[in-house]
Amino acid sequence: MKFLKKMLLAIAVIIAIVLIIPLFIPKDYKVEKSININAPKDNVFNYIKLLKNQNDYSVWSKMDPNWKTSFSGIDGTVGFVSAWESDVKNVGTGSQTITKIVDGDSIMTKLKFIKPFKAENDTYLSASAINDNLTKVSWGFSGSFPYPMNIMKLFFNMEKMIGNDFQTGLENMKKIIEKN
């Protein structure tokens, strides 16, 4: 009986910890990486506003050469959807929809993951001129964990997980744009 009481107390403490700690952890997260590209802003923006071009520079498109992609709508316009399906866990299944375009400046999308987990995130790519032939491109990602799942932020470093992939993607993009 004494063992059972200790066991129940231990379980209650664990449950309390899992429910109390998340109260002090922010739910929201944001990751942003940037790179300077030797090209005029208009050229850069006209490249980044096309979601199909992400297949050329994103890390995830390189992880599974057998992934299936589909597109609907007119690329570079609000409502265009790029969808993918892969058996590779880090690629998974999902879609990205253009939600807003500030012409010559930025493109915003809604990223929906279906597998290996369900999630929705807002992403963006923006271009800002440093001078006539140098453009800063920023790639960002934001979202939130619902309470009490925000405790996962203690175990997952979103900056490291997503940020490294964004930086590699931006470096790939830079090579492509500067080559053309």
pLDDT reported for residue 95: 97
CATH number 3.30.530.20 given to 2-179:
yes
Global pTM reads 0.84
Nearest CA to 38 out of 118, 164, 136 is that of 136
Could you tell me the residue ranges of all domains in the chain? Answer: 2-179
d(CA 128, CA 108): 15
d(CA 91, CA 77): 24
Question: What are the average pLDDT values for consecutive 10-residue runs of the chain, which has 180 residues?
Answer: 83 83 84 97 97 94 91 98 93 96 97 89 96 97 83 79 91 95
R_g (Cα) of the chain, nearest Å: 20
pLDDT reported for residue 177: 97
Number of helices and strands in the chain (H, E): 5, 7
pLDDT reported for residue 22: 80
